[in-house]
Structure 1
């Protein structure tokens, strides 16, 4: 196992913004630092967050935002100079770990090559599915991403198409090129590892799950949790209020299931539409929007609810799924690929992603809650699996392998 290392983590999401990638990154950084390793994060700025932190380097963003409202960073010469200066001032850097495939992720891979440092790339974004299903202009979005990424990262080898249509082919090209530009690739699930391989990625791929900070888990579990067994079924939805996460569909599910309440934790572009949907359906007494909360509050809520509604159909693993597992909260979900992460009999997969399918299962649970008790018993054996300490060693093993091998050529 590698000794103490200095890791430069590159991500297009600031650690203080909302999202599963950010939550997983914070847990990873804390886990590495707890073991004596040094971590410097290179990232985009956070809207409205001005506090500077010693271990964070903010890259320069364009005066435009992504569809999720977060800043856009490009691998410009100005950012290259900023990164190189930080490497010189804070170095030596032993390994670069890129968590995204956009501007900051590209900048990290290019910086690693300039400095002769091995680069590990984490792949966990299903951009092909998100673009095809939820972009207002799928072909234009996929083409723009493909051209912009290809300008900075040439494709090493050949991309396989795995039966994809033209939009999916364009969307997969940046993912494959970014993975091929790395020395090692990590993914959180086996199903995504297989998808990458089928699309032509021949770099060594390691499956290492995301995790939740151990100290946070222990602290929340030690707190008392009050529940009311006579209350209506308590459903919970957590995440970013964006179209691909389908929060509006969760509200519609609650409208169709009268004997339940729904608490929604999160913020995002659909916040106003979510408030309007609750008001227009006269659901204010049963559906409550709590806004953005920290991870601890999300975990606390999971201890007092009966079931998690996971309406997204384009997650690779889903941090909220790991959080529910850690809290022993049964999951109602629709995406077949998430079955790898949901423990056997610890959740229910709907027949399809439709609101009607979710409502049918939720209605059945309001009438027979013994199924929820059975799912909690099934989850009890798996609540410690999401601990970050279980997965930090896996990441360190990947670092060790990358450091021991020759660095890939530019």
Structure 2
């Protein structure tokens, strides 16, 4: 075993800085939950710095009785504009410097680009602590969905400034490597995502739940799982389902999640089934009780629900981007369409709904492929990128280059 690999296997102390964290439900929080658990299982010490969440009672959060971190430091949290249920963090850099002088981490990983991330990056640099960052969210593309598209270029420049202050920026797909490179962020590493195939499994299909949805026999349950928000392209999902229902009147559209569009959608479509936020095994039960998953987003950097749906044995319909670009093979384990071809997206969904044999084959292959996407290999990849590549690149970004350890 080389000296470099041995270095990653000794216990390290890593501080993860994020403005979203479990029990909040979103892709970033879900990814960080698996990251923290995986690092601790591999013997590392994990400290989390995050804002105080809305309606939070004091104390540590944990999942399934397992601590997500060794210690945490909670800072002031303020509502994020447009996402009142999410917070951004405010903290003085002097507080972080004092904290890290007394208990110095080997590395700092900044998962979000907000004020907390800026303060953490500055404090780490002043103390000479290697700092890396994650490109988890396309905030600059969100602006066009909230009536402030004129800010997209400014937000893109901000993202470039922020990430170029860190030694390496981790992105989840090859396409994101290209996008961040085009943004002027050259020091990038490919760190993908896994899926818990023990939690998400076809065995959790619940016929009683399907009956409660009004389904019988081979009636189709078409799922959307995620935030009910403008940037998720829900108009496409609605249009697609209505085309499916035109041919299969007994089909039901089941939306799992919450967000600012829920009330509007419920008023316009009272026959849709709104399940609200679901967690853990209950979420897995809802996944497994569906037949198709519509993932219409064109803004996600990854989309963990795509892998969760595959593991649950659903027929996924997505655009050829993010997780689908990496893991969906058209007509083999799902359906995908070019980003600029909405009609091809609808056509893929209609084919799955119309052809039972194709749907059955796609669902079975999706499950088989998901079994290969374990989190343990992704945690090991994170170790290599953050603990090794950060030191090699230098925390000021010296000798920046794109890195892939796949």
TM-score of the two chains, using structure 1 as the length reference: 0.81
Residues 330 and 118 of structure 1, relative CA distance in 2, 3 Å threshold: same
Cα-Cα RMSD: 2.6
Superposed, 1:25-64 pairs within 5 Å as 25-53=32-60, 55-62=71-78, 64=79
Structure 1: gaps (5+ residues): 143-166
Tell me the equivalent position of 1:185. 169
Q: Tell me if structure 1 keeps the 8 A contact 2:200–2:311.
A: no
Name which of structure 1's ranges 115-124 and 360-369 shifts more when overlaid on structure 2: 360-369
Tell me the equivalent position of 1:153. none
| Matches of 2:321 and 2:108, distance apart in 1 | 33
Tell me the equivalent position of 1:80. 93
Q: Quick check: 1:5 aligned with 2:12?
A: yes
Residues 19 and 220 of structure 1, relative CA distance in 2, 3 Å threshold: closer
Tell me the equivalent position of 1:369. 356
| Matches of 1:108 and 1:40, distance apart in 2 | 13
Residues 86 and 270 of structure 1, relative CA distance in 2, 3 Å threshold: farther
Superimposed CA distance per residue, residues 316-338 of structure 1 (whole angstroms, 9 cap, x where no aligned partner): 21111121222232211134455
Q: Tell me if structure 1 keeps the 8 A contact 2:125–2:396.
A: yes
Residues 24 and 336 of structure 1, relative CA distance in 2, 3 Å threshold: closer
Superposed, 1:337-356 pairs within 5 Å as 337-344=322-329, 345-350=332-337
Q: Tell me if structure 2 keeps the 8 A contact 1:7–1:97.
A: yes
Structure 2: gaps (5+ residues): 61-69, 211-215, 398-406
Residues 9 and 289 of structure 1, relative CA distance in 2, 3 Å threshold: same
Superposed, 1:322-337 pairs within 5 Å as 322-337=307-322
Superimposed CA distance per residue, residues 84-139 of structure 1 (whole angstroms, 9 cap, x where no aligned partner): 343355x231100011112222122112112210011111322332223x121221
Q: Tell me if structure 2 keeps the 8 A contact 1:323–1:386.
A: no
Tell me the equivalent position of 1:176. 160
| Matches of 1:333 and 1:347, distance apart in 2 | 8
Tell me the equivalent position of 2:130. 118
Count how many residue pairs are aligned between Structure 1 and Structure 2: 368
| Matches of 2:371 and 2:113, distance apart in 1 | 30
| Matches of 2:222 and 2:273, distance apart in 1 | 11
Q: Among 119, 127, 137, which residue is 2:148 paired with?
A: 137
Secondary structure of 2:269's counterpart equals helix
Q: Tell me if structure 1 keeps the 8 A contact 2:204–2:285.
A: no
| Matches of 1:223 and 1:256, distance apart in 2 | 29
Q: Tell me if structure 1 keeps the 8 A contact 2:168–2:393.
A: no
Tell me the equivalent position of 2:28. 21
Q: Tell me if structure 2 keeps the 8 A contact 1:302–1:327.
A: yes
Name which of structure 1's ranges 111-120 and 252-261 shifts more when overlaid on structure 2: 252-261
Secondary structure of 1:93's counterpart equals coil
Tell me the equivalent position of 1:394. 381
Residues 326 and 70 of structure 1, relative CA distance in 2, 3 Å threshold: same
Name which of structure 1's ranges 44-53 and 376-385 shifts more when overlaid on structure 2: 376-385
TM-score of the two chains, using structure 2 as the length reference: 0.82
How far did 1:273 drift? 1.4
Superposed, 1:153-172 pairs within 5 Å as 167=152, 169-172=153-156
How far did 1:222 drift? 9.1
How far did 1:309 drift? 0.6
